[in-house]
Each structure stands twice: as C-alpha cells, then as structure tokens.
Amino acid sequence: MQPKHPQDTHIIMSELVLPNDTNTLGNLMGGRLMHWMDIAAAISAMKHCNCPVVTASVDNVSFNNPIKLGNLLTIEAKLTRAFNTSMEVFLRVWGEDLSAQYKYLSNEAYLTFVALDPNSRPRRVPEILPQTEEEKKMFDGALRRRQIRLILGGKMKPEDAGELRALFVKD
C-alpha cells in the first residue's frame, strides 16, 4: 500500500443554507450541519483508502458562530492521521454572507472513520505522510486525541494511555 499525503484527501464542499435547513431563529440547524460534516469527512476518508467507510466517532463539536439563512456554508476536510483501519479527519466549517462579503469561522471538529472491506469488516488503510508544519502538528496530536476517544469509549484503560496517563490515573 502506497503512503499518501494529507493534501490528497483535502476536499471542499459548499451548500446554500435554505429555509428547510434552519430553525425558528433563521440559523442553520446543528443536526443538518453535522449531516453535511459527516458527508464531507467521509469523502475525505474514502479518498485516502479508496473503499467504503463508516463513522466511528465524532469529537466535540462546538458551534462558535451560527450560519444564517441565505448564507453559504463551506466545509473543508482533510485527513490528519491514518492508524491501522481507522482515519482521523479534521473539518473546518465556514459561513459566508455573500452580499456583505463577510466570511466567518463557524466551527471545527474531528471525525474518525473505519475503512471496510467487501464483507463490511475493517480493513487496513494506507499510511499518511504529513508535509507541512501544520500537518505535522495535527498528525502528532492525533495520537493523543485517539487515546482520549478510546478511553472515553471504554476501549482503552487510562493506565495504557502513555503520555495521557497522568490525566486519568493518580500515582
């Protein structure tokens, strides 16, 4: 399996926020945003592994700025790290008021996907080789984020979390 670079997985997806996408305040509904984020992140992951993927986890999603009715929503997604069968994808979501020519950050999040073979079983994914300084920082942080996800999901004991051990276990 040939290693790939994060840039190979970079995708940009845009949607226009329409009335059916909003709540009674005229803001994009969080559930609709998460739906679009899941699609964008899945496409990024599939570009990396060239096979179907399933969502394994969604890290904290904080809504910093609402995206209003009529605004353009843009999601940028890119793989930060590939593990054995799973991949972490970083997303950045922008809102844009086109008439006012104002673009603003709405939120950021990490989603994890697992690659599937034809029998819907987890399959190995290619290694990812970060190139830029930002990609290297995201790559390094991905291991810590993964350990936190595994501990919170009950799949790893806190004492097995390496450098995170001190956050969970008193010596």
CA atoms within a 13 Å half-sphere pointing along the CA-CB vector of 140:
8
- Indicate the residue type of 55: T
pLDDT in tens, 1-15: 899 999 999 999 999
Give strand pairing partners of 86: 114
Q: Which CATH number fits domain 6-130: 3.40.50.10860, 2.60.200.20, 3.10.129.10, 3.40.50.11540?
A: 3.10.129.10
Cα(33)–Cα(154) distance, integer angstroms: 27
Domain ranges of the chain: 6-130
pLDDT in tens, 70-98: 999 999 999 999 999 999 999 999 999 99
pLDDT in tens, 111-144: 999 999 999 999 999 999 999 999 999 999 998 8
Helices (H) and strands (E) in the chain, counts: 3, 5
Residue 52, pLDDT above cutoff 90: yes
pLDDT in tens, 99-111: 999 999 999 999 9
Query: Which residue in 164, 26, 30, 161 sits closest to 93, CA to CA?
Result: 30
pLDDT at res. 167: 66
pLDDT at res. 82: 98
171 pLDDT band, cuts 50/70/90, is low
Angle CA(152)–CA(156)–CA(157) in degrees, nearest 5? 95
Question: Within a 10 A sphere around the Cβ of 61, how many other Cβ atoms?
Answer: 16
Least confidently predicted of 51-55, 71-75, 165-169: 165-169
pLDDT at res. 72: 98
Q: What is the pTM of this model?
A: 0.91
User: For residue 157, how far is the Cα from the chain centroid?
Assistant: 24
Distances (CA, A) of 98 to 16, 22, 55, 92, 106: 10, 18, 32, 18, 15
